[in-house]
């Protein structure tokens, strides 16, 4: 009985003293970072964007693949060690998601027969020939078409679980997640 009275008084004192019910302010969960959710109004397409201007707003979706957000990707990487991550941003001096492979030129918008074959061979090595293995493509952020293009190339090569990380390293770093220098893949 005494505990109930004390609890009641602790609750009521702020009401009597300040005229309001005390509600603790809980932090709101952050679910998106940078511009990973920004809808630029760009129509999704199955045709890769051709350069040289790859830095432009991207669609919010991609036909045949799924889009993943930062915290979803973090959870996927923690729960599934089979996921392959490929960074296609054209920069040698950057850091990216730990364990990611760097495929310079993998997001170019114009692949011919030779490039398609080399790209497919490189993915085959990364996935152990398993076309159902989850493969994530990323670049800088939602204003970079390189990872969108690479995702389309992977779909064309027959991969079934293609994941586009639209937020890219901008969102990854915006979430204060660890980043490392990627292993380069020659193709």
**Cα(172)–Cα(178) distance, rounded to whole angstroms?**
8
The pLDDT assigned to 71 comes to 96
How many angstroms separate the first and last alpha carbons of the chain? 75
Question: Is position 117 within any domain?
Answer: yes
Instruction: Specify the number of domains making up the chain.
Output: 1
Question: Is position 7 within any domain?
Answer: no
Residue 142 is given by DSSP the state T
Cα–Cα distances in Å, from 25 out to 22, 28, 29? 9, 9, 12
Question: Is position 139 within any domain?
Answer: yes
Blockwise average pLDDT, block size 10, the chain, 187 residues: 52 50 47 84 97 95 98 97 96 91 96 96 98 98 97 98 97 96 94
Report the CATH number that the domain containing residue 175 is assigned in CATH: 3.40.250.10
Q: If phi over 0 gives left and psi between -120 and 50 gives alpha, with beta otherwise, what is residue 149? A: alpha
The pLDDT assigned to 12 comes to 52
Question: Is position 84 within any domain?
Answer: yes
Question: Is position 111 within any domain?
Answer: yes
Residue 107's φ and ψ, nearest 5 degrees, are -110, 10
Question: Is position 76 within any domain?
Answer: yes
- Identify the domain containing residue 177 by its residue range: 33-38+52-184
Using the CB atoms, write b or e for 63-84: b if 16+ within 10 Å. eebebbbbbebeebbeeeeebb
Question: Is position 90 within any domain?
Answer: yes
- Residues 128-161 have pLDDT tens digits of 999 999 999 999 999 999 999 999 999 999 999 9
The pLDDT assigned to 91 comes to 84
Question: Is position 8 within any domain?
Answer: no
């Amino acid at each position: 009985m005494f505990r109930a009275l004390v609890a009641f008084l602790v609750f009521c004192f702020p009401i009597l003293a300040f005229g309001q019910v005390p509600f603790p302010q809980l932090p709101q969960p952050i679910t998106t970072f940078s511009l990973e959710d920004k809808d630029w109004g760009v129509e999704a397409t199955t045709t890769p964007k051709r350069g040289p201007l790859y830095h432009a707003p991207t669609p919010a979706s991609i036909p045949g693949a799924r889009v993943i957000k930062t915290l979803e990707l973090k959870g996927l990487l923690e729960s599934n060690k089979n996921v392959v991550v490929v960074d296609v941003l054209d920069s040698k001096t950057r850091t990216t998601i730990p364990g990611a492979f760097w495929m310079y030129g993998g997001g170019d918008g114009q692949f011919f027969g030779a490039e398609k074959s080399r790209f497919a061979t490189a993915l085959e090595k990364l996935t152990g020939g398993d076309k159902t293995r989850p493969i994530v493509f990323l670049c800088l952020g939602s204003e970079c078409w390189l990872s969108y293009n690479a995702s389309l190339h992977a779909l064309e090569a027959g991969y079934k679980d293609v994941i586009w990380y639209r937020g890219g390293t901008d969102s990854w770093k915006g979430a204060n997640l660890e980043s490392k220098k990627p292993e380069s893949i020659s193709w």
